Amino acid sequence: MVQSHRGLLGEIDAYVKRHRDRVQLAAPPLRVPGGEKCKNSVDSLDRVLNQVNELGIDRHSYILAIGGGAVLDMAGYAAALAHRGIRFIRVPTTVLAQCDSGVGVKNGINAFGKKNFLGTFVPPSAVLNDFEFLTTLEDRDWRSGISEAVKVALIKDASFFDHIERHAASLAKRDMALTQQVIYRCAAMHLEHIRCNNDPFEKGSSRPLDFGHWAAHKLEQLTDYELRHGEAVAIGIALDCVYSHLSGLLGSKALERILSTFETLGLQLYSPALLECEPHSPKRTLSVFAGIQEFREHLGGELTLMLLTQIGSAVNVHQVDEALYRRAIHILKER
Ligand SMILES: NC(=O)c1ccc[n+]([C@@H]2O[C@H](COP(=O)([O-])OP(=O)(O)OC[C@H]3O[C@@H](n4cnc5c(N)ncnc54)[C@H](O)[C@@H]3O)[C@@H](O)[C@H]2O)c1
Ligand SMILES: [Zn+2]
């Protein structure tokens, strides 16, 4: 990200000099690799913790992280661990992080081949969304963030889905004004959910904002993180929507609208990893199905997946029919 915003370090320096009576930098900004790489090992986490130790950062200081969802997750986790919690400010620089992950309460890194296996729930002290950062994103990082907006619209707000559907082609072409509106509305809905749903720290087993995520998290891991989180979420949602339809919950017209909106947004609905089999499995069990159990373990308690009954409304289910999921995967493959 620093490569794309060459002036950033100088601007930070100038800002701090201008406001020296109110803010001091403990050291020049620490640079870490962007993307899932910084969550897949403890290297970046260690570097942040080392800095906290060496610079004597205390609980009344702030760690400010600038980056995509992955960097923010890792840095937020470091901030939560050191001294049992240093104040943390997020500056999200991707569409996904601005509309979804940046405004949430979760931090973490991956371990044992599982997404977000280590982590904490800690609300940030502040989140600063600066749309200027988005201008340097690769197309895929622009689009993949919109899949989280589709997610929240599908489970909560049919009129928001109508809006995304109507403007899908322009959103895919990076229309800034429209994307800003979508980010704003999506972030507001996330905050509203966290604030009003009575379960910000996920003590229950139901996790509506993780619609489509059981398969998404597994697909990220199965593809060795070739798929971006938002790209995997689009496939995961498409799969759960086709499954909702095959289960008799979701009408065919609504399903078609959802799938074609993802397509217009330039998001894939299928990955060959969906049909990968577990090694040495006589029954040719699909590897992606391990994601169901991993999802249950992560949330705790009874398995709870969200399915769609119509655009804007969802329902929890506690059992899955793997044969029906296989049919859903083949429908996506043949599309
Ligand atoms: N904590 C949460 O609640 C939560 C919610 C959703 C997703 N996530 C996590 O967020 C991560 C995905 O985040 P993401 O979609 O932001 O992708 P990302 O952080 O993986 O970044 C994607 C790529 O974009 C680059 N990048 C970032 N900002 C840029 C910019 N302004 N210009 C050019 N390049 C830039 C990064 O270096 C990286 O190569 C996943 O690890 C996911 O698990 C967390
Ligand atoms: Zn997500």
Cβ of residue 1 lying under 6 Å from some atom of ligand 1: yes
Verify that 177 and 216 share a domain, yes or no. yes
Cβ of residue 73 lying under 6 Å from some atom of ligand 1: yes
Q: Of 134, 151, 172, which residue is a domain's last?
A: 134
Has residue 292 been placed in a domain? yes
C-alpha of residue 250 to centroid of ligand 1, in Å: 31
Cβ of residue 147 lying under 6 Å from some atom of ligand 1: no
Cβ of residue 202 lying under 6 Å from some atom of ligand 1: no
Q: Where are the alpha helices (DSSP H) in the chain?
A: 8-18, 43-55, 69-81, 95-99, 139-156, 158-166, 168-172, 176-196, 213-222, 229-246, 252-264, 290-299, 322-334
Has residue 284 been placed in a domain? yes
Verify that 195 and 315 share a domain, yes or no. yes
Mean pLDDT (10-residue bins), the chain, 335 residues: 89 96 96 96 98 97 98 98 98 98 95 95 96 97 97 96 98 98 96 82 81 97 97 98 98 98 98 94 90 92 95 96 97 96
Has residue 220 been placed in a domain? yes
C-alpha of residue 131 to centroid of ligand 1, in Å: 15
Verify that 120 and 248 share a domain, yes or no. no
Give the C-alpha separation, 209 to 255, whole Å.
Answer: 19
Cβ of residue 101 lying under 6 Å from some atom of ligand 1: yes
Verify that 326 and 204 share a domain, yes or no. yes
Verify that 188 and 326 share a domain, yes or no. yes
Nearest Cα residue to 60 out of 145, 140, 125: 125
Verify that 95 and 211 share a domain, yes or no. no
Give the C-alpha separation, 164 to 261, whole Å.
Answer: 8
Verify that 292 and 143 share a domain, yes or no. yes
**DSSP result, 44-84:** HHHHHHHHHHHHT--TTSEEEEEESHHHHHHHHHHHHHGGG
C-alpha of residue 10 to centroid of ligand 2, in Å: 32
Give the C-alpha separation, 194 to 101, whole Å.
Answer: 12
3-state SS, residue 96? helix
Looking at all shown ligands, the one closest to residue 104's CA atom is 1
Verify that 156 and 83 share a domain, yes or no. no
Q: Of 111, 134, 157, which residue is a domain's last?
A: 134
Verify that 208 and 320 share a domain, yes or no. yes
Measured by CA distance, the residue closest to atom 3 of ligand 1 is 101
Verify that 177 and 305 share a domain, yes or no. yes
Cβ of residue 97 lying under 6 Å from some atom of ligand 1: yes
Verify that 144 and 227 share a domain, yes or no. yes
Cβ of residue 136 lying under 6 Å from some atom of ligand 1: yes
Has residue 2 been placed in a domain? no
Cβ of residue 34 lying under 6 Å from some atom of ligand 1: yes
Atom of ligand 1 nearest to the CA of 95: 16
Verify that 123 and 250 share a domain, yes or no. no
Give the helix/strand (H/E) hosting 115.
strand 114-121
Has residue 1 been placed in a domain? no
Has residue 299 been placed in a domain? yes
CATH code for the domain in which residue 183 is found: 1.20.1090.10
Q: Of 80, 111, 134, which residue is a domain's last?
A: 134
Residue 195, CB-side half-sphere exposure with 13 Å CA sphere = 7
C-alpha of residue 25 to centroid of ligand 1, in Å: 25
Residue 270, CB-side half-sphere exposure with 13 Å CA sphere = 14
Domain, as residue range, for 51: 8-134
CATH code for the domain in which residue 117 is found: 3.40.50.1970
Q: Residue 330 has what pLDDT? A: 98
Domain count, the chain: 2
CB atoms within 10 A of CB 223: 16
Structure tokens at 9: 């370090």
